[in-house]
Amino acid sequence: MPDSVDVVPGGHAAGGAVQPLVLVVDDNPVTRYATVRVLATAGFRTVEAEIGQRALEIADVSVSAVVLDVNLPDIDGFQVCRILRGRPETATIPVVHLSATYMADCDKVRGLDAGASAYLTHPAEPAILVATISSLIRASAAEQSLRESEARFRAIYHQAIGGICTLDLSGRFVDVNPAMVTLLQRSGAELAGQPVAEFAPQDWRERVAESTGRLQEHGWQGTFPLCNAQGEIMHLEWSISAVLQSGVKVAVVSNITDRVNLERQREQLIEREQAARAAMERLNRMKDDFIAILSHELRSPLNVISIWTHVLNQHINSDEGRRGLAAVERNITIQRRLIADLVDVSMLNVGKLKLELERVNPAELVRVAVESMQRQAQERNVTLVTEMPPVLADAAWLDPSRFEQILWNLVSNAIKFSPEGGIVRIEVASNGGALRVRVIDHGRGITAEFLPLLFDRFTQSEDANRRQHGGLGLGLAIVRQLVEMHGGTVQASSAGVGLGSTFEVTIPLTAPARSDEDAPLAVAPSAPDAMPLSGLDVLLVEDDMDALAALTAILTGYGALVRPAGDGEEAFDQVTTSMPDLIISDIGLPGCDGNDLIRRIRVREAVASLDHVPAVALTAFTRQQDRRAAMESGFDAVCGKPLRLQELLNAIEKAFALAG
């Protein structure tokens, strides 16, 4: 028999080409040969059997079709067909009954009942035989492919972790897979025939009915929740197909409850974080306002004391009286610095302290700062020695007041911890594009253990002698931050206890990117004697009567004609009567405050085409935003409280310079 070709299941040759194998069963060698010849000519491979038993032995999955004679000597064709149909591996093989004799219709029916696919009479027309076999093989292959596809779908359907279900055109469940049963905790029988919307939360039912019931040409994807048997809401993601030919839609369902809950938790965390941040910002604003008010309340009485100290200093001639006034002035300075440190550290904490950079002469700033420390040094019998080279950079980008604060803290500490009769050396140099300032003392020194903590806030040495000098432990921490804000560094060194200490500040001379390199060089203030106050009509606005009296005395002593006013309304009335040569006004006035007053005055000047009157603001609110608000309102200069006479005179000079 021509059955020696290696065949794989389904009738494919080992080489990969499609060569259907046909089993020809016929006890008549002549008719069997004729049938084989026709099939071989058409390209089929064949295998032959003379009797039914042999046919049953040969038939397996490699056979694509069977041409079966009805009349066989051992088992008739009907029985062979039944046996083939009863075996799983051959149940779907097409069987064509072929008989050399006429068959009655009843025999044809028997054949079809036995599982035959077609009936032909021998000799069959070759074309009909080939066409019949080819058609049956194609149909069988298509049915096999469909069965395999259905098997794959069923495997996926039943084994899928996610839910899968079929829906009818009205949005009712037709069938559900086991994962869907588990998801909703309801049996397939409970779900079948029920609208999907029936299991949705009440406020979702209308939307769910619309999503599952309407016809979509391209399907639908989205999310909506369903409730399980326990009443728990399950957040589900749906992908619903378009309507299939069978009139159903397939839906693939993913449980996103955990994801939704996590997203809600994330949103809640964000909301709580935003609320906490808003609360923190409110607390920071309240703290800033409290510190501003506190510093105002502390500075205001210091302001009166400071002004009257200047006044009394001109009238007391006894040594004892002058020593007393010097002690008062010294403690005013200490108190003023403590208040400034508290305000500065608060602003540094929240990043609100900003530098006001100017192109300044560093040598002049050092000279002025050291000069302001001379009295403190003299009282402790300490000598201040400043060493600067003949050639020093004539311009640097610095915040003058903050640079002075850096120097004041370092030099003040050096004086404080120097022995009586000691020397504090201030060395200034510029090289390598940087300004370097070294403050050297020969005092108590610093232990190696304490050096790393020196610039931390609220940190002081536990040495009893050091503690007696007081302070909040903020000065050096503020120095470090101010130096770093200038883009520089500060370092401390000491050989040990009793061997003094050295502080070195390095600040770049180059202009920061945010600064205007063409800004004018700041001009050093004139000496008090050069101030042209003699004969000036000065409107002085201050609601603190003690401060008003003291300032009046000082300005009068410089030759000014002072017009006092206790509030903003009184001051504006005086302006409308007669414009002064100079306005000096407190900011924190009752009713119409200083900023409102100067705005009204500037409007009047503009409307009446009057000259710009120089105006100086006095304020115990020394935050940068307070100073900026005063300048934006129309003041030409701002002077902080407690007043220092030189600062006031400098502010007056600046106001006149700006007014032209």
For residues 168 and 451, the model is more confident at: 168
Give the helix ranges, DSSP H, for 373-450. 374-379, 400-416
Do 202 and 223 share a structural domain?
Answer: yes
CA 228 – CA 236 distance, rounded (Å): 11
**Where residue 531 falls among pLDDT bands split at 50, 70, 90?**
very low
In a domain, 266, yes or no: no
In a domain, 432, yes or no: yes
Question: Does the pLDDT value for residue 7 go beyond 50?
Answer: no
In a domain, 336, yes or no: no
According to the model, what pLDDT value does residue 255 have?
94
Do 175 and 65 share a structural domain?
Answer: no
Tell me what the mean pLDDT of segment 152-159 comes to. Answer: 87
CA 432 – CA 500 distance, rounded (Å): 28
Do 541 and 502 share a structural domain?
Answer: no
Tell me the pTM.
Answer: 0.45
**Where residue 388 falls among pLDDT bands split at 50, 70, 90?**
confident
Which residues are CB-neighbours of 1 under 8 A, at least 6 positions away? 47, 48
Do 365 and 484 share a structural domain?
Answer: yes
Percentage of the chain with pLDDT > 90?
38
For residues 318 and 517, the model is more confident at: 318
Question: Lowest-confidence range among 232-246, 291-305, 563-577?
Answer: 291-305
According to the model, what pLDDT value does residue 519 have?
39
Do 125 and 60 share a structural domain?
Answer: yes
In a domain, 263, yes or no: no
According to the model, what pLDDT value does residue 450 have?
84
Q: What is the mean pLDDT of the chain?
A: 83
According to the model, what pLDDT value does residue 393 have?
64
DSSP 609: T
Question: Does the pLDDT value for residue 238 go beyond 90?
Answer: yes
Do 123 and 19 share a structural domain?
Answer: yes
**Where residue 1 falls among pLDDT bands split at 50, 70, 90?**
very low
Which of 216, 239, 255 is the last residue before a domain boundary? Answer: 255
Q: For 114-143, how does the pLDDT look when each residue is reduced to its tens digit (9 = 90+)?
A: 778 888 887 788 999 899 999 998 998 898
According to the model, what pLDDT value does residue 108 have?
63
In a domain, 279, yes or no: no
Do 144 and 198 share a structural domain?
Answer: no
Question: Does the pLDDT value for residue 457 go beyond 70?
Answer: no
Which of 226, 255, 284 is the last residue before a domain boundary? Answer: 255
Give yes or no for a cis peptide into 123 (omega within 30° of 0).
yes
Do 164 and 151 share a structural domain?
Answer: no
Do 104 and 15 share a structural domain?
Answer: yes
> Residue 234 corresponds to which tokens in the numbers above?
């399950």
**Where residue 516 falls among pLDDT bands split at 50, 70, 90?**
very low
Do 493 and 555 share a structural domain?
Answer: no
Side chain identity at residue 159, one-letter code: Q
Question: Does the pLDDT value for residue 396 go beyond 90?
Answer: no
In a domain, 622, yes or no: yes
In a domain, 413, yes or no: yes
In a domain, 310, yes or no: no
**Where residue 596 falls among pLDDT bands split at 50, 70, 90?**
very high
What CATH number did the domain enclosing 364 receive?
A: 3.30.565.10
Instruction: Specify the pairing of strand 615-619 against strand 637-640.
Output: parallel
Helix (H) or strand (E) holding 234: strand 233-240
Q: How many domains does the chain have?
A: 4
Side chain identity at residue 566, one-letter code: G
Q: How many residues in the chain?
A: 660
Question: Does the pLDDT value for residue 16 go beyond 70?
Answer: no
Do 185 and 126 share a structural domain?
Answer: no
Domain housing 623: 528-659
Question: Does the pLDDT value for residue 234 go beyond 70?
Answer: yes
For residue 347, give the 3-state DSSP assignment: helix
Q: For 359-374, how does the pLDDT look when each residue is reduced to its tens digit (9 = 90+)?
A: 888 888 888 888 888 8
For residue 237, give the 3-state DSSP assignment: strand
Helix (H) or strand (E) holding 35: helix 29-41
What beta strand segments (E) does 91-203 contain? 95-99, 118-121, 163-167, 173-176
What CATH number did the domain enclosing 113 receive?
A: 3.40.50.2300
Tell me what the mean pLDDT of segment 619-630 comes to. Answer: 80
Contact call for residues 434 and 508 (beta carbons, < 8 A): yes
Q: Any idea what the Cα angle at residue 551 is, between residues 548 and 556, rounded to 5°?
A: 120
Which of 132, 156, 180 is the last residue before a domain boundary? Answer: 156
For residues 346 and 417, the model is more confident at: 417
According to the model, what pLDDT value does residue 646 have?
79
According to the model, what pLDDT value does residue 11 have?
43
Do 152 and 98 share a structural domain?
Answer: yes
What CATH number did the domain enclosing 179 receive?
A: 3.30.450.20
According to the model, what pLDDT value does residue 532 have?
56
Q: For 298-354, how does the pLDDT look when each residue is reduced to its tens digit (9 = 90+)?
A: 777 777 777 787 778 777 888 788 778 777 877 777 777 777 777 776 666 666 677
CA 358 – CA 90 distance, rounded (Å): 100
Q: For 160-171, how does the pLDDT look when each residue is reduced to its tens digit (9 = 90+)?
A: 899 999 999 889
Which residues are CB-neighbours of 350 under 8 A, at least 6 positions away? 284, 288
Ramachandran angles phi, psi of 450, nearest 5° = -90, -20
